[in-house]
């Protein structure tokens, strides 16, 4: 989803200037990071690691591209397959991709730039091909609605054990995590119901064992313990890289690394090692108990509003997120004025 006009650049230095002492993780390319070199991939908006093709990642453009999905070899950054989906309508605003335990890829046509213009969105599902190369593949199309009305979303995650599909909505004041039915149905509408509050989210991913859920935004990312079909606790801060139009995240198949992607020509996918479980007991990394959206547990305050008693790490992250959100909204207003 393009929120900033091409000519609008929001440098990390500006965010830091707004928040003295708040540090953003530097983008240090890890050994397994790579650059998307295919000129056709201009707005990479989702990432999913292949399980049957080592080192291959599936991605897609945001919009204005067509029913295409690309396989990229992380060793070279080159596209090794472009799939053309058939059996579906014209994609509208494709925002996310996830691989299910059934070996099928789920593509989320779930964006809604006007926050409620469309009374339904779609999910496309197709089998991950065993052989790489350009080809046409048949896909199923599922109609999706939300129990509490239309909304914009950019994150779709399939649980790697249960196969259940989740969508995280995106909102300036914080969004919601929505749970789909136990099994998607191609007949009728699949109603997704809100099960948790989440912050501003542009993508998310489950760990391969299904015990963690990582959600990212433009400036921050957090990993939550996953228990009984819900995110649990305040989550742990992840040192996500500064990427400007930060759009995607996925785990490597071994669960040891998070891969962060962004929009733009020749965009970089950055590898960030997953923190050991012991980090959860580190008081410097773990703030006081809160809802996944950032508010204190049991609080009736605004979504994503940090408590005054939060630890420094969470407060700093929340401040950075707030500043980044303000900058993004300023960019949107500037873009609208230019269009007018």
User: Per residue in 243-274, pLDDT tens?
Assistant: 888 899 999 999 999 999 999 999 999 999 99
Name 163's Cβ contacts closer than 8 Å, sequence gap at least 6: 100, 101, 102, 183
Q: Listing from the earlier edge strand, what are the strands of the sheet with 230-238? A: 203-206, 212-216, 221-227, 230-238
User: Per residue in 106-157, pLDDT tens?
Assistant: 999 999 987 778 999 999 999 999 999 999 999 999 999 999 999 999 999 9
What pLDDT does residue 277 have?
Answer: 60
User: Per residue in 62-113, pLDDT tens?
Assistant: 877 899 999 999 999 999 999 999 999 999 999 999 999 999 999 999 999 8
3-class DSSP assignment, residue 208: coil
The rounded mean pLDDT for the chain is 79
CA 79 to CA 305: how far, in whole Å? 42
Backbone φ and ψ of 6, nearest 5°: -55, -35
Task: Give the pairing type, strands 135-138 and 78-86.
Answer: parallel
CA 309 to CA 301: how far, in whole Å? 14
Task: Give the pairing type, strands 140-146 and 121-127.
Answer: antiparallel
CA 118 to CA 101: how far, in whole Å? 30
Residue 271 CA to its chain's centroid (Å): 15
Helix or strand run (H / E) with residue 330 = helix 312-339
One-character DSSP codes across 22-47: --PBP----TT-EE---TT-SSEEEE
Say yes or no to pLDDT of 284 above 70: no
Which single residue is written with the structure tokens 């995590």?
177
What pLDDT does residue 114 have?
Answer: 79
What pLDDT does residue 194 have?
Answer: 97
User: Per residue in 18-41, pLDDT tens?
Assistant: 333 333 334 433 447 999 999 999
Task: Give the pairing type, strands 189-198 and 140-146.
Answer: parallel
- Burial per residue of 5-16, b for 16 or more beta-carbon CB atoms within 10 angstroms, e otherwise: eeeeebebeebb
Residue 263: CB atoms within 10 A of its CB come to 23
CA 169 to CA 203: how far, in whole Å? 10
Mean pLDDT of 197-223: 95
Name 282's Cβ contacts closer than 8 Å, sequence gap at least 6: none
In this prediction, what percent of the chain has a pLDDT beyond 90? 62
3-class DSSP assignment, residue 311: coil
What pLDDT does residue 163 have?
Answer: 98
What does the angle CA 285 – CA 222 – CA 220 come to, to the nearest 5 degrees?
100
């Amino acid at each position: 989803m393009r929120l900033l006009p091409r000519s609008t650049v929001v440098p990390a230095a500006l965010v830091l200037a707004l928040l003295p002492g708040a540090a953003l993780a530097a983008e240090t390319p890890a050994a397994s990071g790579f650059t998307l070199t295919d000129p056709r991939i201009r707005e990479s908006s989702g990432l999913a690691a292949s399980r049957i093709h080592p080192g291959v990642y599936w991605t897609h453009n945001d919009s204005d591209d067509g029913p295409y999905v690309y396989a990229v070899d992380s060793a070279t950054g080159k596209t090794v397959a472009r799939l053309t989906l058939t059996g579906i309508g014209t994609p509208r605003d494709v925002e996310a991709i996830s691989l299910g335990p059934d070996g099928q890829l789920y593509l989320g046509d779930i964006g809604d730039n006007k926050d409620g213009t469309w009374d339904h969105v779609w999910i496309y599902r197709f089998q991950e091909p065993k052989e790489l190369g350009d080809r046409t593949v048949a896909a199923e199309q599922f109609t999706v609605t939300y129990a509490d009305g239309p909304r914009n979303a950019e994150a779709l995650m399939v649980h790697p054990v249960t196969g259940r599909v989740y969508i995280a909505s995106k909102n300036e004041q914080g969004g919601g995590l929505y749970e789909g039915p136990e099994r998607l149905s191609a007949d009728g509408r699949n109603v997704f119901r809100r099960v948790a509050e989440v912050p501003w989210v542009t993508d998310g991913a489950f760990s391969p064992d299904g015990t963690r859920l990582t959600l990212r935004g433009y400036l921050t990312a957090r990993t939550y313990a996953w228990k009984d079909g819900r995110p649990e606790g305040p989550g742990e801060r992840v040192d996500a890289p500064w990427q400007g139009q930060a759009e995607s995240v996925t785990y490597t198949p071994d669960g040891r690394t998070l891969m962060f992607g962004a929009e733009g020509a020749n965009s970089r996918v950055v590898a960030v090692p997953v923190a050991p479980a012991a980090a959860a007991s580190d008081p410097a990394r773990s703030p006081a108990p809160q809802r996944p959206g950032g508010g204190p547990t049991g609080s009736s305050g605004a979504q994503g509003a940090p408590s005054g008693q939060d630890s420094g790490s969470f407060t700093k992250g929340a401040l950075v997120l707030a500043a980044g959100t303000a900058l993004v909204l300023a960019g949107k207003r500037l873009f609208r004025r230019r269009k007018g």
